[in-house]
Amino acid sequence: MPIPDMEVATQARRVDEEIAKQIRLLCDLQTQRNSCSLISRFPTEILAAIFVCSARDYHSTHFGYPIETAPNWVNVSYVCHHWRNVALNCPTLWSYLFITSPRWTEELLARSKQASLKLRANLENLSGGGRDDRRLRFVRRVMNHIERIQELYLFLPDCFKDHFLSSPAPRLQNLMITVGYHQFSALFNGDTPALRTLELSFCPVSWDSFTLHGLTTLNLRFVPSRSQQNMVEFLATLSRVQDLRHLYLENAFASTAGFLSSTEFRSFQKINLPRLSRLLIVAPLSTVIAFVACVNIPSKTELRLDCDFEDGVSLHDYASLFSVLAQRFSTSTSQALSSPTFRSLVIDLTYRPALTFSPLERDCDSFDLVLRQYWGYNTPLKIRVSWFVSDTRNSLDCILGDISTFVPLMDVQSLHVIKPPVLPAIWRSALGQLQDLRCLKLTSGDLPDLAPMLCLTDLTTSEGAEGQGGRTNRNPDRMLAPALEELELCNISFWKRTKKDKCPVDVQALCDSLATRKGSSGQLTIARCFERMRRGRSVQKKRFNMVGHWKNGRFREVEEHEVT
């Protein structure tokens, strides 16, 4: 006799209920089993801290670009029941906002409860359309909670017209805005009492928009020329920021030559920044002079000064910069506080000559390498000045001759020349001025004929050129750069010696000259250099490295190998 449909349905329901009951029982047993594992016995606070670190690392490298799905760190809430409970009960985990769907935005804001928000939004390439509209909606939705935002990094396009930044931000600590020449009428109505780090790039805003008394880091980059501030007004703003530790000013101010010649400058009351530990200025020479002269910079402060060339600048103007710095950095009484004592010099002849000075020994890195990196490496001062010489005077000896009129070179121990000139006469004059030179580094270009200068006997020509009746004096006791102990060549091209060459410039000639330096010892390092040799109408090229030593009139090659 067939079973009625009603009974079948009832029996199926009882079976389903039993299955559900068993599944719940298995889940409970699995949960109990998981609770016995080591990871489940982690204190909840430690597990939550690990989750937050994962979210913070993702957030710091994401740069605010939109994503199609949730970031990987969200998966911690799907691992197990315990992890999910920890994640959902950690509002800070959900305060690291990312651009995604409106539904996810609402969920993130709800899960973060009242935790301080961290927002990175990259809107640089907005062009209209579906995805761009979604990104704008996301930013507008989050900015409605501006009173909760702690970190705000915005990358905005030229055409950006929104003014959603006009509400007070009492929790804001870190603010970075990169914008393409758009004038904000106001930022946060000046109500930013917790602001500690402010970085503005291409962003012409008024200082009246901020409360800066608690600021510790200020970074201004590429302020549009029409919005660059008056130096006196900016210094007045700095005088109220007594906790400032890091100050970076890159192309933020125009020339202040008029201020330097004014009575206001001569009577200016210096301001104090007692906690300043890092200072970077990239500006016209007159602006650098004005800032350094008007601020009492603590002796512990690391300085990076990059002085752009200005029309009408004279050697006296360059001398003014070094005399302003002399009281902090001069150690030689013979200089009478006219200039700091410099032991390292970099001369870059790639385009317009640029000179980089440092008081440290063997500090041969160019300024670009230390513009941002290497803070805290005990580099108290790094100065780069752009130099202008006419085409007929664009040579190493002329530049050294010019700078020696206001910067004594007798203490220079390290010289790095980028794109070195090749004429022997230039090097004879240059090395003659650097008698305490210990380290010589040449980068990028053809090898100068250093052999006649580095050998024991130096040939000097008395009045008149040697081929025009001049008399050649041989002084066996004179040796240029007598203290030289390190010669480094990097990306330099050699020409291999041939029978037709009257003045060969090759590796062997250089090594032979070093072998004559009796009483002197040192190391030759050749890195990523080229040896060229003519074969008929073609030129063959070999790239190689080499290390060698000279000592007591002998040269010994330690290692040489060809680089593929």
Summarize pLDDT for 133-144 with one digit per residue, the tens: 777 778 888 888
Task: State how far the Cα of 392 lies from the Cα of 100, in Å rounded to an integer.
Answer: 60
Q: What is the predicted pLDDT for the residue at 231?
A: 85
| % of the chain surpassing 70 pLDDT | 80
Confidence of residue 160 (pLDDT cuts 50, 70, 90): low
Question: Exposed/middle/buried for 298, CB within 10 Å: 0-12, 13-18, 19+?
Answer: middle
Please measure the distance between the N-terminal and C-terminal CA atoms of the chain and give it in whole angstroms.
Answer: 91
Distances (CA, A) of 475 to 456, 458, 459, 478, 554: 9, 6, 7, 6, 21
Residue 10: CB partners within 8 Å, gap ≥ 6? Answer: none
| % of the chain surpassing 90 pLDDT | 17
Which region among 69-73, 107-111, 129-133, 538-542 has the lowest average model confidence (pLDDT)?
129-133
Q: What is the predicted pLDDT for the residue at 505?
A: 63
The sign of the CA dihedral 467, 469, 473, 474 is positive
Q: What is the predicted pLDDT for the residue at 469?
A: 42
CB-CB neighbours of 37 under 10 Å: 11
Indicate whether 344 pLDDT > 80: yes
Indicate whether 64 pLDDT > 50: yes
Cβ(357)–Cβ(345) under 8 Å? yes
Which region among 140-149, 250-259, 448-457 has the lowest average model confidence (pLDDT)?
448-457
**Nearest-5° angle of CA 264, CA 267, CA 268?**
75
Task: State how far the Cα of 28 lies from the Cα of 126, in Å rounded to an integer.
Answer: 50
Higher-confidence position of 343 and 136: 343
Q: What is the predicted pLDDT for the residue at 177?
A: 87
Average pLDDT score over the chain: 79
* Across 264-284, average pLDDT: 90
Q: What is the predicted pLDDT for the residue at 416?
A: 92
- C-alpha 409, offset from chain centre: 28
Q: What is the predicted pLDDT for the residue at 90?
A: 93
Which region among 84-98, 315-329, 383-397 has the lowest average model confidence (pLDDT)?
383-397
* Across 476-484, average pLDDT: 72
Closest C-alpha to 44, from 97, 84, 95, 96: 84
pLDDT digits (tens, 9 = 90+) for 432-461: 778 889 999 999 888 887 777 777 654 444
